[in-house]
Each structure stands twice: as C-alpha cells, then as structure tokens.
Chains A and B, each alone.
Chain A
Amino acid sequence: MSQPVLSVKDLSVVFHLRRGDFTAVKSISFDIMPGEVLGVVGESGAGKSMTGTAIMGLIDPPGEISSAAITLNGDRIDGLDEESLRKIRGRRIGMVMQDPLTSLNPLFTVGEQLIETIRRHLPLNQDEARDRAIALLADAGIPDPASRIDSYPHQFSGGMRQRVVISLALAAEPELVIADEPTSALDVSVQAQIIKVLKRLCAERGVAVMLITHDMGVIAEAADRMIVMNKGEIVETGSVGDIINRPKMDYTIKLIEAIPSITAQNPRYAAAVAKGHSFASERTGDPLVVVENLAKQFDLSGSLLARITGRRKIVNAVNDVSFTIQRGQTYGLVGESGSGKSTCARMMVGLLPPSGGTVRLEDTDIWSKGAEKKRRSKIQMIFQDPYASLNPRWRVGEIIAEPMRALGIARKPGEIAERVADLLERVRLDPVSMRKYPHEFSGGQRQRIAIARALSSQPEFIICDEPTSALDVSVQAQVLELMSRLQEEFGLTYLLISHNLAVVRQMADAVGVLHNGNLVESGPVEEIFGAPKADYTRMLLDAVPDISKVA
C-alpha cells in the first residue's frame, strides 16, 4: 500500500471580513494517491478553488488558513514560510488555471516563460532549458514547437494556449498538478482534447492530478475518484462510477439528478412514444417564426486606408441560415463559440440588422418599415449573464415595469405595481422584491427577474440566449423548469440558444446545429441527437464531456 502523494487533514480557510468571519473551507480531509486523478466537484461557493489555492499556500489576506495538516509525499507543507513555499510551487506542485488568455504574460514569449520556470527549479543552462521546453511543447501536442516557442501568447488559439499552460505546470517535473477549472473557458470540442492531453501527460509521468471543476461531465471523463463539496464541506467521497451511478447523500443525489445528460431522451418525446403516437404529431402548430437565408457580414477592415486599397477583411458570421419555429414549440440552436448563434439571436430580436435574408413573425418581416411596433411587442429576450442584464442602479420593480411603460401596456402607477407583483409571483419571487436592488439577489433569482421582465411586455416569442450557462447546476434545473412551466401557461414560443447539448436535448422540440455561421443540420430533436447526419454534429456529440461517459 503506497503512501498518498497528497494528504490533507482538517484544512480550514477563514476570511476575516468587516461583517464577521466567513469560513470558506470547513475542516476537510482527503488523500490523493500516486498517478490518480482526483476530481473535486461542487457548485459555486463550495470552496473547491479555495482548497486548491490553500494547498499552494497562495491564500492572501483577508483570508487565512486557520488550521491544516497538509503532507506532500511525507513532507509537511502547511505553515511553511514564503521562501520554502516558493521552492515547492512549480517544482513539486504544478498549477493549471482557468483562463489561458490571462494566465500568460502577454509581453513575454512562450519560450521565455517556459525557460524561466525551468531554470528556476532545475539546474540546466539556457540551451538545455530551451531543448527541454521544446520537448514539453511537442509532448503537449503543439505543432512545430521549435519555431512556435518564440511566439507570443496572443498568437495561439485558446486550446493551444492551455496546452502551453499545462506544459508550464509540468515543466519542473512536479509530483502533483492542481488543475482549477482547466476547461471552463474553452470551447466544447477543445475541452475534450485538453482533458486527454492532461490525462496522458500526467499518466506518462506518474503525476497525480487534483482536478477542480463544477462540470460533472468533465469529472466523469477524466477522474478516477472524486470528492463532492458543498458550502465548504466534503459531502461524499468515492470512485467516480460509484458516486454518479449510486449517490448516497441527499445533496449528491439532488445534484446528480439536476444534471442533464445528452444521452437522456427528450421527456416529451419519450412521453409521446409511450402513448403510442409519433413525436411529429405532438405540439404542432402553424409556423410562428420563419427564418430564410439569414446572413450577416462584418467588415473588420479597420482603417479607412485598408478599405480604399481593397485589402478588406470580411467575416461571414452567419451564412444562409434557414429554419422554422412552430407556435408553442422550443427550437434549440446549438454551436460553439464563433458559430454565429448569438449573432442570429440579435438579428431575430431586432438588435442587429441582417446583411441578407428575412426573419418573419406571423408573415411580417420584422425588419421591414413599420414593423418595429409589432416586433417590440411580440418578441423578447432573456440574456446569459444575470449580473449584466439588470441595471444595478434600478429597483427590481422599475426593471420589470420598463417594457410595460415603453409599450404603453400600463401607465398608472397602481396598475403597474399590480402587474409587477403578479409577474414576480409567477416566477416564484416575493412581490416585496420589487422595492429591492438586483445586487440583493442571487444569480438564479436574478435570472428569474429577467424572465419576469421579458414577460412583462406580453410577448409571443422569447429568445433565450444561454439562459442558464452562468448558473449552478441545481439552480439551472429550477430555472429551466420555470421556463417550461411558463411556456405551458402562456403558450410561449422559445428559441433556446446554448452550447450545452444536454440542456437542449431536454428542452427543445426541434434543433439546429450551427458551425462557422452555417446551419449544418436541422430537424426534430430526437432525430438530431439519436441519428445525426452531419459529421460536425457527430463530432460534437462525441466530444462533449458528459456525465454518462463515466470512464
């Protein structure tokens, strides 16, 4: 029985704030064995990042490690002074952070940063260090490393940059790597690659990994064992397969339940099949929204001079996209970043005029003259970031009332207050909330306020642009359930835009797949997910880290 690489006993992290002390991590204990990948999973505020930071000794005031016994391969590393800690960081424990764009210093080449780290910890001269750096880059899968080593960070794409970051973490041959949300800032298809690279490199070198993430799908694919954290405590520990398939604690059970999987059939489809009719006969209505040959070009030429000399740079963000949304249905639009889905959304809600094509709502081209009134009163939008979609200086009541006022639905203060109270109740919030400010609410509650605002103009068609991407998994489930219920109550039609394929499969009736501005596939949800025709769709479904893909 070998000894653990990392042994943590009774680790507590406390923040001394002016309103009192806040304990971010409450006396947790766990071990990581050599060569193993331990997943640390939890929602926001669970304390998982804090744990990683504490192990590295990087907690800054007003936080402090109030108690701990952390052992690295037998050596105590808690309570060391800064100089000793510096010898451990990088040399014995490596770290991979979330955002590769900000993790690397933009003014130094990749090579300079690698060599600097190598020479700090290993007794190599300049040339030897450079050779080693090139070897690391090659190992991480970066093409042509001998010349790319002299490139600057901004010359790499996101996925490549993260490979550089991983190389940096492994540069001095550490015993343990702490990866804090290593894939969260990356595109779905790139995520899978990065996970593979990390796993392979660490397995080859016998390095243990502490993989911190909120994404259970990533854990399922990458980790061997996992610990589930909630509010600073460890709720459950065990092998990944055990916990995902047979969770024991209440919190874990609820958490797993709330996570949608891309292998789960669409519930309405399943219900229809059970009743015996084909899915096509459920929920058909007349087409409400018809999109034809929608296109958008952006001119990125820059200066006037470039435009004149003809060296223009045109980007086709959206290229000849056509689809139909039936009344009362939910149409899901999926794609990675840069696929053009947000651009489509903005064109369909009236924020961005299209370069070509039409968007028709009930046979009216929403971009034609005189259509503004109809467009404003019938189409609404729910945005991704609950923190940026509500004006922090306005009261909640004013925020919800704004569409009513602007469209003339209600004018008298009394009537407005009544309607606002009614809307708040419908989204399951106390009407007294209307006197409060957004910052007094949590992310999930804010998103509900945003939904109430969208409903206040009494629209028929609501475009939901990544409505739950910024929310915790359990909150996401609640908000999605609310959206479904409201759809039934009000007969709403949704366009659901998301990069999360599992959510789309659960919510949508029909789906369109966007890739680089082109609609590669479109059709009923179960057709697309069950029997995808396009190569890109197949690749996407394969690559997505999903909870069902337990290793």
Chain B
Amino acid sequence: MLAFIFKRLGQSVLVMLAVALIAFIMFRYVGDPVASMVSQEASISDQELLRERLGLNDPFYEQFFRFILNALQGDFGISYRLQTPVAELIMSRMPATIELALTSATIALVFGILAGVFTALNRKNPAAAAIMAFSLIGVSLPTFLIGIGLIYIFAVELQWLPSFGRGQVIDFGWWRTGFLTETGLRSIILPAITLSLFQMTLIMRLVRAEMLEVLRQDYIKFARARGLSKRAINFSHALKNTMVPVITIAGLQLGSIITGALITETVFQWPGIGSLFLSSVAVVDVPVMAAYLIFVGFVFVVVNLIVDILYYVVDPRLRVGAAKGH
C-alpha cells in the first residue's frame, strides 16, 4: 500500500513540474514582462537595466528554478492589470469559487447517481424516459444559456432569488464564507444549479451506462440463478460493481468543476478566481494566467491522487495478488 502511494506521489510531482514548466514558459516568453511594467517613455537603457535587475537575462534553468522556488513560497509575481500580488488576488477570491464548486459538486453527485441508478433499473418507466430526455437537453444547453435563463425566470420575472453577487459574507480568518447568511445562501442557489447541470447529466448517463453493463455480466446471471432477492442483486452486487469505474470518472469530472466555474462566475458576476482568470485572458495579464494554470494543475493532481487511492481501496483485485495454488 505504501509503495503504491509513493509511486503516485512521485508521478504527481512530475505532473506538477510539467505544468509549472508550461506556466513558466508562458510567464516568461508570452508578451514582454518589462514592457508591461514600465511606462512608454522609459529609455532602452533603462529597460535593459530593469531586465538585468529582474534576472531576465539569466540562463533558462536558473530562471525556472527561481520561478519554482517563488511559487513554493507563494510568490507568483504581480498582476499586470491590477498591480497587486497575484497570490493575494487568488487567495481573496478562492473561497468564493470553492464554496460554489463544492455545492455544485454535491448537487451533481447526489442527483446524478440517484437518477442514473433509477433509470438503469426502471428502463420501461415513463419517468425514466423523461429523465433521459431531460439529460439530453442538459448536454445540449450551454452553461451560460442556462445561467441567463435561470436569472430571467427566477430573478427577473419571479423575483425569488438574487441575480448576481454573493450576498452577505462573513469572514473566518482569511476565509470569506457566504454559507452563514441568508442572502449568502440564496445567492448561491442559482449559480450552483447552473454549474452542476452539465456535470449532473454526465454523471447520470455514466452511472446508467455502467449499471446496465454490469447487469449484463455473468455473475449477475449466476446471482439470479441462486435465487437472490432483487434488492440484493441490484443494490448489493450491481451497485457495488458500478461504483468502481464511476468513482474514477466522476472524480475527474468534479475536479474540472472547480476549474470550469468561470463561465458561471461570469454570468452571475460571482467574485471567484474563474472570473479573475477570464478578465486576465482578455488583457493578456500573464502572471495571473500562469498562477491560475499552476492552481489548476494542483487541483487536478490532488483529485487524481484521491481518486486513485479510493480505487485502490474499493477494488480488491488491486490490493491482493492473483491466484496461487491450483
């Protein structure tokens, strides 16, 4: 077990390094850092001086090493656009995104799995057909359209829920939460639903397909031949076997909720890192882009690690070796 964790950690470090490399290349070579920092009138010699001071003439690997060192200490440079340290920017906006992502992920997982199991077990049921139809629409609707639609119905026409912002927030140390106020809770509903819809339909279809596949297997037929009850077959045998592949894919998908929240954040003007990234892309604010890339890489690596460990725990074929004896 320990060897397995070490191996995965090693791979994770490698992936992070690769991501850091790409981020660094972007950071250094896209656009001109010096030109973005100084005013128009600075002379060539002044620019050269600045270049020297910033260490921009040093060899590649030295700069890369410095980049990594800085990153590990939380220093990602200064945003071109806002002239504030990038790390500060990201930290201040991260709680908003994380809360939104967690809420959406919960909704997507719970409803997705329930709907998936239901439609797999009750294929002829009209409700199941309706859910499948709904899921197809869910995959065909762009997230931003869903957001706009929901705002129009619930915020403008019915006036039940707010149409933008986080509502009132409370500070917990450096974490700023919206969960503890009424307006905070009401504000998160529409964005969370919007963000979760796509993932929910994906998970639902995945669970359904996997479960149908499992139900076709020989061991299910053998279980029926032994007279086991329907509940035992569906929820003990079939469900357990379905969950194994679902865990991996669902886990990866959910990792992408955090990073993919930017559309929803834009539509709802949610002050998270997604919308930060978007505005930085529009003006090519490279330090923010690079930092966001590293953040995304980190999320991906952590999610992958957790998923791999879960997989290892759930599937006995990975834990114990194969047959001995005859």
Contact = CB atoms under 8 A, between A and B. Distances in A.
A117 B223 CA distance: 9
Contacts, number: 102
B53 interface: no
Given A103-B219, A160-B326, A305-B7, A90 B228 contact: yes
Nearest to A95: B225
Contact of A89 (B7, B217, B226): B226
Instruction: Classify the secondary structure of B's interface with A.
Output: helix
A120 B225 contact: no
B302 interface: no
Contact of A88 (B219, B227, B230): B227
A102 interface: yes
Nearest to B219: A105
B316 A103 contact: no
Contacts of A86: 227-230
B317 A97 contact: no
B320 interface: yes
B218 A106 contact: no
Contacts of A156: 323, 325
B66 interface: no
A152 interface: yes
B148 interface: no
Contacts of A120: 226-229, 232
A248 interface: no
Interface string B200-235: 000000000000000001110111111111101000
Contact of B227 (A91, A102, A154, A157): A91
Contacts of A116: 228, 232, 236
Interface in B92-110: none
Interface string B271-284: 00000000000000
A157 B225 contact: no
A154 B226 contact: no
B296 to A, nearest CB: 28
A152 B317 contact: yes
A107 B219 CA distance: 11
Interface stretch (B128-136, B155-163, B237-245): B237-245
A379 interface: no
Contacts of A94: 225-226
Contacts of B240: 107-108
A105 B241 contact: yes
Given A106-B316, A154-B323, A303 B225 contact: no
A543 B143 CA distance: 66
Contact of A107 (B222, B223, B244, B326): B244
Interface residues of A, number: 41
B323 A157 contact: yes
Nearest to A114: B226
Interface string A110-140: 0000001100110000000000000000000
B321 interface: yes
A90 B326 contact: no
Contacts of B236: 116
Contact of B218 (A102, A157, A172): A102
Interface in B275-326: 314-317, 320-326
Interface string A131-175: 000000000000100000001101111011000010011011000
B100 to A, nearest CB: 35
A120 B321 CA distance: 31
Contacts of A154: 316-317, 320, 322-323
A105 B223 contact: yes
A107 B228 contact: no
B226 A90 contact: yes
Nearest to B223: A105
B320 A152 contact: yes
Nearest to B220: A105
Contacts of B315: 106-107
Given A105-B237, A106-B316, A156-B323, A168 B217 contact: no
A290 interface: no
B314 to A, nearest CB: 8
Contacts of A105: 219, 223, 237, 241
Contacts of B232: 116, 120
B324 to A, nearest CB: 7
B120 to A, nearest CB: 16
Nearest to B6: A305
Most buried by B among A105, A106, A121: A105
Nearest to A112: B236
A410 B206 CA distance: 51
A305 B221 CA distance: 41
Contacts of A165: 222
A94 B224 CA distance: 11
A103 B218 CA distance: 5
A16 interface: no
A56 interface: yes
Contacts of B320: 151-152, 154-155
Contacts of B221: 58, 97
A191 B325 CA distance: 16
Contacts of B224: 58, 89
Contacts of B237: 105, 108
A88 B225 CA distance: 9
A13 B320 CA distance: 44
Contacts of B326: 157, 159-160, 190
A64 interface: no
Interface string B252-272: 000000000000000000000
A414 B182 CA distance: 84
Nearest to B317: A154
Contacts of A305: 7
A156 B324 CA distance: 6
Nearest to B237: A105
B163 to A, nearest CB: 47
Contacts of A108: 237, 240
A329 to B, nearest CB: 35
Interface in A75-97: 86-91, 94-95, 97
B269 to A, nearest CB: 46
Nearest to B228: A120
A136 to B, nearest CB: 13
A155 B218 contact: no
A102 B217 CA distance: 7
B228 A143 contact: no
A95 B7 contact: no
A262 interface: no
Nearest to B324: A155
A312 B228 CA distance: 44
A117 B226 CA distance: 7
A97 B226 contact: no
A305 to B, nearest CB: 7
Given A86-B230, A107-B314, 11 more contacts: A89-B227, A90-B228, A103-B218, A106-B316, A108-B237, A116-B232, A116-B236, A155-B324, A156-B325, A160-B325, A303-B7
Interface of B: 7, 217-219, 221-230, 232, 236-237, 240-241, 244, 314-317, 320-326
16 contacts: A91-B227, A94-B225, A95-B222, A97-B218, A97-B225, A102-B217, A104-B219, A106-B241, A106-B315, A106-B316, A107-B244, A116-B232, A143-B325, A155-B322, A159-B326, A160-B323
Closest 10 A/B residue pairs (Cβ): A90-B227, A89-B227, A102-B218, A90-B226, A95-B225, A105-B219, A103-B222, A152-B316, A157-B323, A117-B226
